[in-house]
Amino acid sequence: MSFNSLTFVCLFCFVMAVQYSRLPWNTKKATLLICSYLFYAAWNPPFVLLLWLSTGIDWYMARFIATTTRQSVRRICLAISLAVNLGLLGFFKYSGFALQSFCDALQLVGFSFQPLELDIVLPVGISFYTFQTLSYTLDIYRGTANPHKSFLDFALYVTFFPQLVAGPIVRSTDFLPQCEIPRARDTAKIGWGLNLVLIGLFEKTILADGLCAPVVEKAYGVEAIDLVGAWTGTLAFAGQIFFDFNGYSLTAIGISLCLGFTIPDNFRFPYAAIGFSDFWRRWHISLSSWLRDYLYIALGGNRGGTSRTFINLMLTMLLGGLWHGASWSFVIWGAMHGTFLGIERWLSSTSLYRWPIWQARSGRMLLGLLTFVLVCFTWVFFRATSLSQAISLTLTMLGLTHSDTSVFDSYTSLVIAALIGGLLLGHALCRRQSLEAIADRMGPILWGALCLLMILLLLVCRGDERAFIYFQF
């Protein structure tokens, strides 16, 4: 059930009616929980059992951790939580990849092994809700949170439908306190929430699906492509993945606001980033902060010297790449980000970092443009259908290989260049602002006209109904 479907609109209207009715607060939460399960079951009903299993295991393991003083028992409970959650994630998401990698390794040493084909369906959103429910157990184990009193609230935290299948990954300390007090109707919040839903659907339907997706599919659907085509397709994907994922996040945040809940931002104008550290403070913030708090810091962070810090960065980003998908292309994507982060950290300790030019506007613009170009090279490995295609496209974009295969006319390339140029300019102008502050500065008349234009375009240019890109993770 996608946000841009009529079925979801009916579900949302029903939940809104219940949420602001005179029913008891626990009844409202129970209804919201049931609707969240129905929302998830629309993809594959049996996979609701996995949600129940993760919810039950982490609820009871966290309580055992909090009520015992024996460190050995605490560690066993944490190990059970990790084993169940990561075991399910590993089986459904990585078993096929691991088996194929094992077969490939055997072939390298002269053995041939053809296993039975694994026909495993990936539960939608399993990577997101696994990290979300794990954070609850880890926080209680580390003593940074206390076990919640209500199982209903915890189940709703794990299953809250606006952000269930593609984030943002919400922390229990942010969400559970909101479940304790009935959500009063706030007209201003509901109004702004509907604005965010409109922007999110516009980014998804018009910009990601309408403008960028056809170009990306054409560029990445051929064996060889010329230099202009490779850059056109990759720039289009840089736009598509931002508009698609940011569109989902804004819609999820907007729906949550309409229901009275606040969940954190997931993007802060990431293509205005100056350096990769800044990029990851702006892109998929809920995942990057999760990896930082529960993996990078747990590995030692930057406390072990330059070499150890680089290893920790690399391990964190390798696992971050693998979290996105079970293929070597995603591993290389993570390795590239880890390498760029390591180089950036090393450069920050040299005299080059302190040159006055980097503090000037021209220097910062140059660094921002360099960051975006390098991010585009990483997107090639994220989007390519195979590792060989990713390498071929990268070499073409660098001008190291040449092909006469031209799949785009000059008009298409100019449209994509203009779109991405406008996106970069918009992010650069807004890098220190929030979307709400921008709306306030525009004023009600200009902002209202912009919203009306988006509504008209959505009505006129419906296009194909495509799933959000991050549903596959």
Asked whether residue 118 carries a pLDDT value surpassing 70, the answer given is no
CA proximity to 54, closest of 133, 147, 159 = 133
Q: Where are the beta strands (DSSP E) in 147-305?
A: none
452 pLDDT band, cuts 50/70/90, is very high
Q: What is the DSSP string of 312-342?
A: HHHHHHHHHHHHH-SSHHHHHHHHHHHHHHH
Residue 380 predicted with pLDDT over 70 = yes
Residue 309 · residue 290 · CB < 8 Å? no
pLDDT for residue 364 is more than 70: yes
| Average confidence score pLDDT of the chain | 89
Other C-beta atoms lying within 10 Å of the C-beta of residue 66: 15
Give the pLDDT confidence of 294-350 residue by residue, as tens digits. 999 988 888 877 888 889 999 999 999 999 888 889 999 999 999 999 999 888 878
Instruction: State which amino acid sits at residue 293.
Output: D
State the pLDDT at residue 36: 92
pLDDT band, very low/low/confident/very high, at 358 (cuts 50, 70, 90): confident
Q: Report the pLDDT value the prediction gives residue 222, as an integer from 0 to 100.
A: 87
Both tokens of 231, joined, read 């850059």
pTM: 0.92
Residue with the larger pLDDT of the pair 356 and 190: 190
What was the pLDDT predicted at 359? 79
Q: What is the pLDDT of residue 471?
A: 73
* Whole-number Å distance between alpha carbons of 134 and 117: 31
Q: How many CB atoms lie within 10 A of CB 24?
A: 10
Asked if 179 and 150 count as a contact pair (C-beta separation under 8 A), the reply is yes
Tell me the C-alpha distance between 258 and 193, whole Å: 5
Residue 5 — pLDDT band, cuts 50, 70, 90?
A: confident
| Angle at 41 (CA atoms; ends 35, 45), nearest 5 degrees | 140
**Residue type at 279?**
F
Q: What is the pLDDT of residues 417-440, one digit of tens each?
A: 999 999 999 999 988 888 888 888
Residues taking part in catalysis: 324
Supply the pLDDT for residue 408: 85
Residue 56, number of CB atoms within 10 A of its CB: 15
Element of type H or E holding 390: helix 387-397
